[in-house]
Amino acid sequence: MSIKPIQYHDGICRMIDQRLLPTEEVWLEYTDYQGVAEAIQTMVVRGAPAIGVAAAFGAAFGARDIAADDFAGFAAQLEKVCSVLAATRPTAVNLFWALERMQRIAKEHCQQPLAEIKERLLQEALNIAAEDEQINRTMGANGAPLIADGSRILTHCNAGALATGGYGTALGVIRAAVESGKKVMVYADETRPFLQGSRLTAWELHRDGIPVTLICDNMAGALMNQGKIDCVIVGADRIAANGDVANKIGTYTVAVLAKEHNLPFYVAAPISTIDPALADGSMIPIEERDEAEVTHCAKTRLAPEGIGVRNPAFDVTPARLVSAIITERGVARGDYRTSLAELLAKQD
């Protein structure tokens, strides 16, 4: 059973501290929105869908603590709670999707007593968490046919159960392929600088008994050139209307290499990761994180002091490099403006 990184029980949201994996499995407890916001910003919890799930619980905790005489006052304070959570990380659209859904639910129940609205919001956060895992299982079933038996699959960063409400997106497709009886092996890019691949993907796949081999990011091209990789599958943090994909920094590099070696490059993401309001990837905000993530590894300094450092946490892969976008509503190919719009228009 793949891990659920966010678990709620009796007023407490427990999240595994992904900064400490793979060496320590430490679960932190959260009961207020400020704590959840810090957990998202410091990457205790990370991964686009998981960030949305965590933010939903943060909004529910914030709503629970609002003292207001009427709905207008409640809604104004809920807006402030959601703005704090929205300010944590800019790229993953699932964060904003989840917060908008929580505020929409509040408005839909504005005639009810505030106590009932607060209960309803907690239930909505639980719904978002449960739905996400089911969405990933459906997405996995949609994507598994694309994975041939015996495939050697390269993945970048962690788009697994740890990045979601459970089961994973890119790793969910891999899990579904394995569960359908296919034998696969996975090359996991270490994914500098935060090392989601070596610390999280390798841990998660090894824990679940799926063969995984860790490689440095600079090895992917050579392995492709030696004919040792059959396809690539990654997650996404935001997909523009034209199919441009924002994902962990280094994804674009892998996509260019895959194109050079005529390898399929798949993206697996829930519909909530598509942002139809953005015409193309140039409009996707790219988070720049603290330079210490680049200059240090744990407490060990890796570079001299006083030098310039960049740490863009994401990059954008143009749609022309993307072979297919796998979602819970089906697989989009070709002209993504049309094929993504068709998936968005479909009902679940």
Ligand X SMILES: CSC[C@H]1O[C@H](OP(=O)(O)O)[C@H](O)[C@@H]1O
Please, what is the minimum distance in Å from the beta carbon of residue 114 to ligand X? 34
Which tokens hold the place of 221? 């091209």
Peptide bond into 22 cis (omega under 30): yes
Q: Does 159 help bind ligand X (rule: CB under 6 A)? A: yes
Pattern 305-324, ligand X, x by CB under 6 A: --------x-----------
Q: Does 138 help bind ligand X (rule: CB under 6 A)? A: no
Query: Which positions make up the binding site for substrate?
Result: 46-48, 89, 196, 247-248
Which C-beta is closer to ligand X: that of 63 or that of 229?
229
Name every residue whose Cβ is closer than 8 Å to that of residue 4 and which is 6 or more positions away in sequence.
133, 161, 165, 166
Angstrom CA distances, 36 to 88, 158, 222, 227, stand at 10, 21, 41, 44
Please, what is the minimum distance in Å from the beta carbon of residue 154 to ligand X? 13
State the sign of the Cα–Cα–Cα–Cα dihedral 296, 251, 101, 168.
negative
Query: Which range of residues in 44-52, 69-77, 122-130, 328-336 is near ligand X by CB under 6 A?
Result: 44-52
Q: Does 163 help bind ligand X (rule: CB under 6 A)? A: yes
Interface residue with ligand X, options 247, 272, 317, 323 (CB under 6 A): 247
Interface residue with ligand X, options 4, 46, 109, 137 (CB under 6 A): 46
Please, what is the minimum distance in Å from the beta carbon of residue 164 to ligand X? 5
Q: Using an 8 Å Cβ cutoff, are 220 and 189 in contact?
A: yes
**Residue 43 CA neighbour count, 13 Å, CB half:** 17
Q: Does 49 help bind ligand X (rule: CB under 6 A)? A: yes
* Residue found under tokens 């497709």: 173
Name every residue whose Cβ is closer than 8 Å to that of residue 134 and which is 6 or more positions away in sequence.
none
Phi, psi for 311 (deg, rounded to 5)? -150, 55
Q: Does 157 help bind ligand X (rule: CB under 6 A)? A: yes
Q: Which residue is nearest to ligand X (CB)?
A: 235
Interface residue with ligand X, options 48, 161, 241, 284 (CB under 6 A): 48
Which C-beta is closer to ligand X: that of 63 or that of 272?
272
Name every residue whose Cβ is closer than 8 Å to that of residue 278 and which is 6 or more positions away in sequence.
238, 240, 241, 284
Please, what is the minimum distance in Å from the beta carbon of residue 301 to ligand X? 22
Query: Which range of residues in 102-110, 205-213, 233-241, 328-336 is near ligand X by CB under 6 A?
Result: 233-241
Q: Does 239 help bind ligand X (rule: CB under 6 A)? A: no
Specify the 3-state DSSP secondary structure of 141: helix
Please, what is the minimum distance in Å from the beta carbon of residue 199 to ligand X? 10
Give the C-alpha separation, 15 to 230, whole Å: 35
Q: Does 237 help bind ligand X (rule: CB under 6 A)? A: yes
Specify the 3-state DSSP secondary structure of 229: coil
Which C-beta is closer to ligand X: that of 198 or that of 247?
247
Query: Which positions make up the binding site?
Result: 46-48, 89, 196, 247-248
Which C-beta is closer to ligand X: that of 62 or that of 166?
166
For the question of residue 237 being annotated catalytic, the response is yes
Phi, psi for 26 (deg, rounded to 5)? -115, 125
What's the N-to-C CA distance of the chain in angstroms?
25
Give the C-alpha separation, 130 to 15, whole Å: 15
Helices marked H in 159-316:
170-179, 196, 202-207, 220-225, 251-260, 292-295
Q: Which of 208, 217, 237, 315 is catalytic?
A: 237
Interface residue with ligand X, options 88, 151, 169, 201 (CB under 6 A): 169
Which C-beta is closer to ligand X: that of 54 or that of 63?
54
Q: Does 164 help bind ligand X (rule: CB under 6 A)? A: yes
Specify the 3-state DSSP secondary structure of 32: coil
Q: Does 196 help bind ligand X (rule: CB under 6 A)? A: yes
Which residue ranges make up the site for ligand X (CB under 6 A)? 46-49, 157, 159, 163-164, 169, 196, 234-235, 237, 247-248, 313
Residues assigned a catalytic role = 237
